[in-house]
Amino acid sequence: MSKETALLESRALRVEQMERVDILDKVKSLVMLPDGIHVRTQDVARYFEVSTASVRRLTDRHQKELSENGLRLLRGSELQSFHSDTLSLWDGGGEAIYPQAATQLRLYTRRTVLNVAMLLRESDIARCVRAYLLDAEDELRARHDVLDHRVTRIEHCLADVGSALTELGPVLRRMSERFDSLDRRLGSTHRLVGAISVRLADVSQDVLGVDARLDDVARRLRELGPVT
């Protein structure tokens, strides 16, 4: 079964595509009513280049699905109110320019028109809309596959990092222990150097004392004068 046939046959697949209303204007401009929200049956037929009767038959067959996607059927006071509001927005104004349904009016939103495009078999425009939808789906799937591949690679890298960190733990502990030992040795060396410094200061004082005594001996020898 081709993808297009699957889309025509599966309501679940159509539901997945219902947000892609932007596809409609990529295929052909859809002229809305003055409210900018709705189109009539004849407007839908004009867009898909089929008869109004074809659109009515399709709408009758799939009325529940289309109603869930924005189809409205106006009658009585609701229809009169809609006509009044729409005529007030119509540029030309006047009933002759905007033909009114006698007893009821079906209104379609962009979402409903997209739904029709996924159901209508005898329209080249509808086939183009389906082709755009399926191409966009393939592109989205390809992007998803690329993203999934990149995420998988990142997960593998993180797994390698986790393994490396596990192996690094004991090494870091041993280095920490060696640094602690070195710190203790440096502390002992610092204390030893301090003790040596004190001893050297004492020796310096002793040398000064000896030097002073030698100076005193030399002075006394000079005072005795030359030996005859």
Q: Residue 23: CB partners within 8 Å, gap ≥ 6?
A: 114, 129, 132, 133, 136
Indicate the helix (H) or strand (E) that contains 134: helix 124-224
Report the pLDDT value the prediction gives residue 32, as an integer from 0 to 100: 93
Within a 10 A sphere around the Cβ of 169, how many other Cβ atoms? 10
Beta-ladder partners of 106: 73
Report the pLDDT value the prediction gives residue 119, as an integer from 0 to 100: 96
CB 45 within 8 A of CB 51: yes
Report the pLDDT value the prediction gives residue 97, as an integer from 0 to 100: 45
C-alpha atoms less than 13 angstroms from C-alpha of 36 in its C-beta half-sphere: 1
Of 1, 3, 4, which Cα lies nearest the Cα of 120?
4
Phi, psi at residue 5, to the nearest 5°? -65, -40
Tens of pLDDT, residue by residue, the chain (228 residues):
788 899 899 999 999 999 999 999 999 999 999 889 999 999 999 999 999 999 999 999 999 999 999 999 999 999 988 888 877 776 544 444 455 555 889 999 999 999 999 999 999 999 999 999 988 755 545 454 545 556 667 776 777 666 666 777 787 888 888 878 888 888 888 788 777 877 877 777 877 877 788 887 788 888 777 655
Report the pLDDT value the prediction gives residue 161, as an integer from 0 to 100: 67
The pTM score is 0.58
Report the pLDDT value the prediction gives residue 53, as an integer from 0 to 100: 96
